[in-house]
Amino acid sequence: MIEPHDEYHLHHRLGGVIYPMTVHSEKGRDTAVTVLILLAVTSLCIVTGPGTFDGMDGAELAVAGLRLEIPHSPGYPLFMWLLRISSGRSYQELRIVTCLLSGLAAGAVYIAIRSFAIGFSASAATSILLVTSGAVLSQLNLLEVHGLSLLLASLSIAFRKTRLGPYTFGMSVFGGHPISFLLLPVLVNRTWLRYWFLGLIPATMWLYVPVRAAGSTVMHYGGPSGIGSFIRYLGMYSDRITSPSLSGLNNFIAELGPATSVTLLLGILLSRFSWRRYAAIAGILFIFLCYGIPDITAYSWLLLLPLSIQAAEGFQTLLERKRKTIWVISVWVALVVSAASGIHSGLDRRNDAMSIIFSDLFRGIPPDRVLCTTRGTSYFCAYMLEAEDMRPDITALDPMGIIYSFSLLHGPVRTIPSEIADRYVYATCAWGDLPPSGILFSVERPRLSWNGYDVFNENVVPEEEMPADMLAEIWCIRALQETDERAASAAYERALEYAASDRASASIRQLIRNHEQGLSQ
């Protein structure tokens, strides 16, 4: 009797140019499993995602997507178009679109694994293992490009032996995330090489940035419409390639959790060696070691994709053994434990720290003032103004003149004026190095009383470094403005408790020293 996976091998041996995704008799089952996975993962992402905007790129992507403008490099044209054509207008509504993409991605992962002649159970179990792992689910449930990237990367694997292979790979690189090119060793074959040029067609999507930049008024990154400025825009993260460090990999393993790590490792140990997959894994590991961005674990899906295919083979070996029932139960128990820990980790990260911080920022500004935002705060302020439509009375600008339509301050300015056009200016940065920036400064008096701010009344628990540092700064600003000495000391202590990064802690300690020196004089 020929088992389903044997039939796949048979087709391989026959050397069919067009890769059989499923054998005819299994067509209905594959369709049903794909749709079930799509519905389950979409629902899971919707339920486990944050209630308000996240502390990463979500706010920026929402504004750029709503206005069809330019987010950070490389611009994610396909993602911007998808956000724009959806009728969503807030983070939550746009997140529904990304949750759907994540559901589709999970189904595509299943089909991609199936295309390696791996049976139903092992493929379904491994695809669920991948998307429910803490490292991946915590990205798929956000307003982020990773769901779309995983979908396109999985399709490029599923279609690798068809004429569509190079095209889907091109879509994955230029429409998803460029880092997907590291999957190339898994994809290349004779058919792929024959039609490689089709992979260049999606590259035209990148024309979106120079074409759209000329007309963008908000989120335009300096309007990279010329060749020089476009190349500079594309290379804006090139300085992040650093000497190797294990921190990215350590964070990946920590976010993956012990249950998923052990399950994957077991599968990998039982699988046969494939130089193509290990070559892809080696390339991706290099990025994890040398790409010095704080959220490198956001790319966990890329590392887990070839690892999962490898692990699925191992699970398949287990399922082919005698006394099959025991192994089927074992694999599914491991999967449930892994998924539970991943979902728990995803739920754990839900918090509204950023929303509270930025709501308070606007709360402190009297009517018809100018708000000058700096660095990271600009994207969240732009989101509040553009997407949430809060405080239409405020005129926003940034010192670089790249985020808002109003660019009275041309180019980088060192000093923010206290008034512009007879309007008081409120600034989110008034000192040099305390990262990422301050929360609210103005020469105008009186201010809203401290009790009017939610951030001082609620127990805000930030999960990420950026909101934690911002909370530290808010308490610093309060400390600086407190007239009562004991209240100032207590505020500094709270600031130190919140500070997550070394730079923030060092800056706060410096502020405390300055404060004490001022008192002694």
Partner 1 sequence: MRTEYSPFIASALVVLVFLIVFQCCTDSRMERRQQRLNAFREVLPEDILREFDGIEHRSDCQRVGLLLSQAREENTSLDASIDSIMHAELIDCFTDEELVRFFWLYFAYALEENAVPEP
- Binding residues vs partner 1 (CB under 8 A): 11, 16, 18-24, 27-28, 30-31, 33-35, 38-39, 42, 63, 66-67, 86-89, 93, 96-97, 100, 103-104, 107, 111, 162, 359, 362-367, 386-387, 389-393, 447-448, 452
CA atoms within 13 A of residue 12's CA, in its CB half-sphere:
11
| Greatest pairwise CA separation for the chain in angstroms | 92
| Unique residue bearing structure tokens 């230029």 | 174
Cβ neighbours of residue 487 closer than 8 Å, sequence gap 6 or more: none
Structure tokens at 319: 């399922």
Min dist CB 28 to partner 1, Å, is 8
The residue (of 61 and 66) whose beta carbon lies closer to partner 1 is 66
Q: Do the Cβ atoms of 382 and 396 come closer than 8 Å?
A: yes
Min dist CB 516 to partner 1, Å, is 32
Structure tokens at 106: 């999970």
The residue (of 42 and 374) whose beta carbon lies closer to partner 1 is 42
Give the pairing type, strands 419-420 and 423-427: antiparallel
The residue (of 359 and 505) whose beta carbon lies closer to partner 1 is 359
**Calpha distance 12→15 (Å, rounded):** 5
**Calpha distance 290→283 (Å, rounded):** 11
Min dist CB 107 to partner 1, Å, is 5
* Residue 32 CB coordination number (10 Å): 10
Min dist CB 57 to partner 1, Å, is 18
Min dist CB 326 to partner 1, Å, is 30
The residue (of 114 and 494) whose beta carbon lies closer to partner 1 is 114
Q: Do the Cβ atoms of 123 and 130 come closer than 8 Å?
A: no
Min dist CB 108 to partner 1, Å, is 8
**Calpha distance 291→289 (Å, rounded):** 6
**Calpha distance 244→291 (Å, rounded):** 8
The residue (of 89 and 509) whose beta carbon lies closer to partner 1 is 89
**Calpha distance 142→46 (Å, rounded):** 9
Paired strand residues for 291: 241
* Residue 209 CB coordination number (10 Å): 27
| 3 closest CA partner among 332, 329, 316 | 316
The residue (of 68 and 480) whose beta carbon lies closer to partner 1 is 68
The residue (of 84 and 509) whose beta carbon lies closer to partner 1 is 84
**Calpha distance 253→266 (Å, rounded):** 15
Min dist CB 27 to partner 1, Å, is 5
The residue (of 89 and 276) whose beta carbon lies closer to partner 1 is 89
Min dist CB 237 to partner 1, Å, is 27
The residue (of 333 and 448) whose beta carbon lies closer to partner 1 is 448
Min dist CB 280 to partner 1, Å, is 23
Min dist CB 218 to partner 1, Å, is 9
Phi, psi of 367 (to 5 degrees): -65, 150
Instruction: Label residues 433-459 b or e (16+ Cβ within 10 Å = b).
Output: ebbbbbbbbbeeeeeeeeeebebbeee
The residue (of 102 and 260) whose beta carbon lies closer to partner 1 is 102
